[in-house]
Copies of this chain bind each other. A is one copy, B any other.
Amino acid sequence: MPGTGTMGNLRKNVGEAGEFHLIERIRKILPASRNRDLLVDIGDDTAVVRLDERRALLLTCDIQVEGRHFRFDRTTPYQVGRRAMAVNLSDIASMGGKPTYALVSLGLPADFPVKSYDLLFEGMRDELLPHHAHIIGGNLARTEGFLIVDVTLLGEADLSRVLTRGGARVGDRIFVTGHVGASGAGFQALRTFGKKVPGKYREMVNRHVLPVPRVDLGRRISRSGVASAMIDVSDGVAGDLYHVCTRSGVGAEIHEDLLPLPEHIGEIARKSGTSVLELALHSGEDYELLFTVPPEVSARRIRSLPGDSRVPVTEIGRIVNRREGYCLVDSRGKKRPLTPAGWDHFRS
């Protein structure tokens, strides 16, 4: 049927189109040739602009909407502030950058308490302080019924050390920091137990409520020169590694048994009617770093990455040829296709 064969024609509104299709549309609308100082634009964790021969400027933003990204019956305004900043810090971290300055736009309902407003800013300030980064501007507007927090964060990186999603090569090993699935398990624990979450699950709940962006570790990885590509795990390992594969033109294999899981995740999965693999691969919001390393890099150099932080760095698979696909390998060596689906902010 002429005129109905393309995806575009079937998608009349943004809810049907989905986030990735919408981003693709922007690429087509914007002029293809821009300027030579613009090194990375739409499609990575941050945009990258050359500042001079040595320095790169990183830019990212993240808009969070009450009712979709957070709810005040589960988190405090202070936590919402910290979280809104943390997710942006994680994007800067994934490029190997150092955060510098933030701008904050708020959409505020008229009845939003001034006390909560203060706490929101205190949360954002406190999340930036350890990195010597600061809020330097912003804008306020009134909205009806719900809060909107949009943070733009800038960072700086060594021009020669910026790590994008596009550098992974066949044979590279895949590493992830910390544990995967902790945030998703924490979310399920909150849903299952409400405010009476048993103490042993607290750590996972904390990871969900207050993610810990790996800013220092991201910088160590970038400066060490060992990594070929990096991304932060915001959509889930399966979704984010897929972004790396797409941008790098490669495939990947992840080994199920190698995934660094948090303690007690099995209990949470059972109690909430999901699976450990679902939480570890697809639930997202872990804000760990996933990076690839060429095969010749020594084990000693990898071991030295965390420095004093003691954050685990775990090998979970390897980059393969695109033709070999995108797979999960189980304990018996059996491969099955890995679904990249993560969180779609429009369809979900």
Report which A residues bind B (CB closer than 8 A): 8, 11-17, 19, 22-23, 25-26, 29-31, 34-35, 38, 41-42, 46-47, 49, 51-52, 57, 59-65, 67-69, 100-101, 103, 105-114, 117-118, 121-122, 125, 129, 132, 134-146, 148, 150, 152, 154, 345-346
**13 interchain pairs, CB-CB under 8 A:** A14-B114, A41-B136, A59-B136, A59-B154, A61-B137, A63-B140, A65-B107, A68-B143, A107-B107, A110-B346, A142-B345, A148-B148, A150-B150
A129 near B31 with CB under 8 A, answer yes
Chain B residues with Cβ below 8 Å from A143 are 65, 68, 146, 148
CB contact under 8 A between A41 and B125, given known A29-B118, A145-B144, A152-B103: no
Stoichiometry (number of copies)? 2
Residues of B within 8 A of A114 (CB): 8, 11-14, 16-17, 22, 25
| Cα distance A259–B41 in the bound complex, in angstroms | 44
**A-B pairs, 9 with minimum CB distance:** A15-B110, A63-B105, A47-B137, A47-B136, A152-B152, A41-B136, A63-B141, A105-B150, A150-B150
Q: A42 near B137 (CB under 8 angstroms)?
A: yes
Q: Is the CB of B101 within 8 A of A47?
A: yes
**Contacting residue for A140 out of B23, B57, B59, B106, CB 8 A:** B23
Besides the known contacts A26-B138, A30-B125, 13 further A-B residue pairs in the complex with CB atoms under 8 A apart = A13-B111, A14-B109, A14-B114, A14-B117, A15-B111, A47-B137, A49-B101, A60-B137, A61-B138, A63-B141, A63-B148, A107-B148, A140-B346
- What's the least CB distance linking A323 to chain B, in Å? 32
Q: Give the residue of B29, B141, B150 whose beta carbon is less than 8 angstroms from that of A345.
A: B141
Q: Which residues of B contact A35 (CB under 8 A)?
A: 132, 134
CA distance A138 to B63 in the complex (A): 9
Asked if A68 and B142 sit within 8 Å, CB to CB, the answer is yes
- A64 CB, min distance to chain B CBs, angstroms: 7
B61 touches A135 (CB 8 A): no
A348 to chain B, nearest CB (A): 9
Of A13, A62, A64, the most chain B CB neighbours within 10 A belong to: A13
Q: Is the CB of A25 within 8 A of B61?
A: no
